[in-house]
């Protein structure tokens, strides 16, 4: 059960249609925003989206068995007779209030995750480590926004061992709303990068936005973060006065002083000794096989381990991990004798640099198809230049840039230092250029912002039969 009809009067007062005394304590088991999914005895929330207005489906929701609903104050049309309803200023906020009401009834730890890069990977790593405690509910796909976070909360039950909630943002104040909705017990901030800098204006503002995750964090809870991120450290300590758990990572030989490493004179509680060549990570005397390749993913794993340790898992018990990542993230595909690093879901300067570093660890020739990194504002040219300079430094055999931005033509001055460099407008054009160049044993990185659609290359590459 989620809550009773009577509970809702505590949120919005008496409904416009009175609640009959016979069902005042009736329990609501489901909340839906999609009228097609409504079942008998559920609660319907009509959201106003870009392409639809849920108020237009009140009649359908009622016919399907919804017992109660909310409508916006500005809604003037008729409500089906017998449909219990409240009028509210904002139905989206009402949806979040319902989720918060339910969250307060959940007697399980809630872990919230944000950061510029690695949110989803860290989310899945945390979920995988915590399954040693029992069933874990977590954010699905990209449901990390104003609608997705409440949906994630409603998917949890008190029988779960934990709830893992990813929180994204595109502006100041958004993560604060999500924190209020989820009331987390633990927060994980992966890093502060340049993703969305075109929307927020500066890394300082990005740090402020990410640290909003602490706005409604349990005062007795904690923040888990990587050591050495000074902007995050400074911003967080202004916003949060509670416990901070820092994790560190080194590739140098282990020493007896590892646990005394300091970040701006701040203690590092969990330290990892990384052997990338062997794919091993040593933490607290225990050796773990890295579940994902790359130093950046080793840090994500460290954050996940810290969460597990703080929730009482013994280091020796974290062995069984079933990791499931959405398509286009940390995916190594084999198309015959061609190895493809599928990172097509999204891109930011930091994530592209990390992917390039991973690419060059592969034996054989290395190529990359890179799509435009969106939402970088007036820093877009600077960051695209940085990425191309890195490709030159790493001596890639070739780069094809998929972009329709005018300024990318200026990148030719950097690209001429590569054996192969082209700028095209569509992914299919990149395939035409590479089809005659790629050979068996080659490695190809696909990385770009979601809107570029680099995933369209996958079936074309698969058809090559190298």
Q: Are residues 309 and 165 in the same domain?
A: yes
Contact 214, 185 (CB under 8 A): no
Residue 100 lies in a domain: no
Q: Are residues 36 and 126 in the same domain?
A: no
Q: Are residues 23 and 81 in the same domain?
A: yes
Residue 202 lies in a domain: yes
Q: What residue ranges in 83-221 does DSSP mark as E strands? A: 84-88, 110-114, 136-138, 162-166, 186-189
Check residue 265 and give its pLDDT. 58
The number of C-alpha atoms within 13 Å of 335 and in the hemisphere containing its C-beta is 21
Q: Are residues 130 and 61 in the same domain?
A: no
Contact 178, 217 (CB under 8 A): no
Residue 340 lies in a domain: yes
Residue 350 lies in a domain: yes
Check residue 316 and give its pLDDT. 85
Q: Are residues 252 and 399 in the same domain?
A: no
Check residue 263 and give its pLDDT. 46
Specify the residue for token string 């919804």: 66
Q: In Å, what is the CA distance from 66 to each residue of 28, 39, 109?
A: 10, 6, 30
pLDDT in tens, 249-291: 998 654 434 444 444 558 999 999 999 999 999 998 999 999 9
In the 8-state DSSP scheme, what is residue 251? -
Helix (H, G, I), strand (E, B) or coil at 218: coil
Convert 100-115 to b/e letters by CB count within 10 Å (16 or more is b). bbbbeebebbbbbbbb
Check residue 290 and give its pLDDT. 94
Check residue 2 and give its pLDDT. 86
Going by C-alpha positions, the residue among 167, 136, 135 that lies closest to residue 150 is: 167
> Residue 246 burial by CB count (10 A; 0-12/13-18/19+): exposed, middle or buried?
buried
Overall domain count for the chain: 3
Which residues in the chain show pLDDT less than 70?
1, 252-265
Neighbours of 322 (CB within 10 A): 9
Counting runs of H as helices and runs of E as strands, what totals does the chain give?
15, 23
Q: Are residues 432 and 346 in the same domain?
A: yes
Q: Are residues 86 and 110 in the same domain?
A: no
Ramachandran angles phi, psi of 210, nearest 5° = -70, -40
Check residue 57 and give its pLDDT. 97
pTM equals 0.93
Q: Looking at residue 418, which CATH number applies to its domain?
A: 3.90.190.20
The two tokens of residue 357 are 């570093």
Residue 322 lies in a domain: no
Q: How far apart are the C-alpha atoms of 192 and 207, rounded to whole Å?
A: 6
Q: Are residues 253 and 340 in the same domain?
A: no
Q: In Å, what is the CA distance from 416 to each residue of 389, 396, 413?
A: 11, 12, 6
Neighbours of 66 (CB within 10 A): 28
Q: Where are the alpha helices (DSSP H) in 222-294?
A: 230-239
Residue 273 lies in a domain: yes
Residue 242 lies in a domain: yes
Check residue 256 and give its pLDDT. 39
Residue 326 lies in a domain: no
Q: Are residues 235 and 342 in the same domain?
A: no
Check residue 182 and give its pLDDT. 98
The number of C-alpha atoms within 13 Å of 224 and in the hemisphere containing its C-beta is 32
Q: How far apart are the C-alpha atoms of 255 and 128, rounded to whole Å?
A: 29
Q: Looking at residue 29, which CATH number applies to its domain?
A: 3.40.1390.10
Q: Looking at residue 193, which CATH number applies to its domain?
A: 3.40.1190.10
Please say which residue of 317, 345, 363 terminates a domain. Answer: 317
Q: Are residues 182 and 292 in the same domain?
A: yes
Q: Are residues 295 and 371 in the same domain?
A: no
Check residue 254 and give its pLDDT. 47
In the 8-state DSSP scheme, what is residue 321? -
Contacts by 419-423, CB closer than 8 A, 24 or more apart: 420/367
Contact 376, 352 (CB under 8 A): no
pLDDT in tens, 310-325: 999 998 888 778 888 8
Please say which residue of 95, 122, 157 terminates a domain. Answer: 95
Q: Are residues 305 and 343 in the same domain?
A: no
Angle, to 10 degrees, between the axis of helix 380-393 and the axis of helix 349-359?
10
Check residue 171 and give its pLDDT. 95
What DSSP line would sit under 131-161, residue for residue?
TTTS-EEE--TT--STTHHHHHHHH--TTSS
Please say which residue of 60, 95, 130 terminates a domain. Answer: 95
Domain that holds residue 360: 331-462
């Amino acid at each position: 059960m989620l809550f009773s009809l009577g509970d809702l009067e505590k949120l919005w007062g008496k409904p416009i249609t009175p609640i009959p005394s016979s069902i005042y304590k009736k329990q609501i088991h489901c909340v839906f925003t999609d009228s097609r999914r409504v079942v008998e005895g559920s609660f319907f929330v009509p959201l106003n989206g870009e392409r639809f207005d849920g108020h237009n489906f009140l009649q359908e929701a009622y016919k399907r068995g919804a017992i109660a609903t909310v409508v916006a104050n500005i809604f003037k049309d008729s409500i089906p007779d017998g449909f219990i309803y409240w009028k509210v200023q904002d139905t989206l906020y009402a949806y979040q209030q319902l989720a918060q009401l339910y969250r307060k009834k959940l007697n399980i730890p809630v872990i919230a995750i944000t950061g510029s890069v690695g949110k989803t990977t860290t989310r899945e790593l945390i979920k995988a480590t915590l399954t040693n405690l029992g069933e874990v509910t977590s954010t699905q796909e990209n449901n990390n926004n104003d609608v997705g976070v409440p949906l994630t909360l409603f998917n949890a039950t008190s029988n779960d061992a934990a709830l893992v909630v990813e929180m994204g943002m595109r502006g100041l104040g958004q993560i604060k709303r999500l924190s209020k909705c989820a009331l987390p017990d633990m927060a994980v901030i992966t890093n502060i990068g340049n993703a969305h800098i075109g929307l927020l204006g500066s890394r300082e503002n990005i740090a402020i936005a990410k640290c909003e995750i602490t706005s409604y964090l349990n005062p007795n809870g904690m923040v888990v973060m990587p050591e050495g991120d000074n902007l995050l450290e400074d911003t967080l300590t202004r916003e949060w006065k509670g416990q901070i758990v820092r994790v560190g990572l080194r590739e140098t030989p282990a020493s007896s002083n590892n646990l005394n490493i300091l970040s701006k004179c701040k203690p590092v509680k969990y330290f990892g000794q990384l052997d990338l060549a062997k794919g091993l990570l040593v933490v607290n005397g225990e050796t773990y096989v890295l579940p994902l390749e790359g130093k950046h993913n080793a840090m994500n794993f460290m954050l996940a381990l810290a969460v597990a340790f703080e929730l009482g898992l013994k280091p020796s018990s974290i062995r069984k991990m079933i990791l499931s990542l959405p398509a286009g993230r940390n995916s190594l595909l084999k198309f015959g004798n061609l190895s493809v690093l599928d990172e097509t879901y999204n891109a930011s300067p930091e994530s592209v640099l990390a992917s390039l570093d991973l690419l060059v660890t592969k034996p054989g020739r290395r190529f990359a198809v890179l799509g435009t990194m969106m939402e970088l504002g007036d820093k877009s040219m600077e960051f695209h230049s940085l990425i191309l300079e890195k490709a030159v430094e790493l001596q890639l055999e070739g780069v094809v840039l998929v972009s329709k931005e005018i300024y990318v033509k200026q990148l030719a001055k950097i690209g001429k230092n590569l054996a192969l460099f082209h700028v095209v407008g569509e992914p299919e054009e990149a395939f035409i250029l590479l089809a005659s160049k790629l050979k068996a044993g080659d490695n190809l990185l696909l990385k770009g912002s979601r809107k570029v659609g680099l995933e369209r290359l996958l079936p074309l590459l698969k058809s090559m039969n190298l």
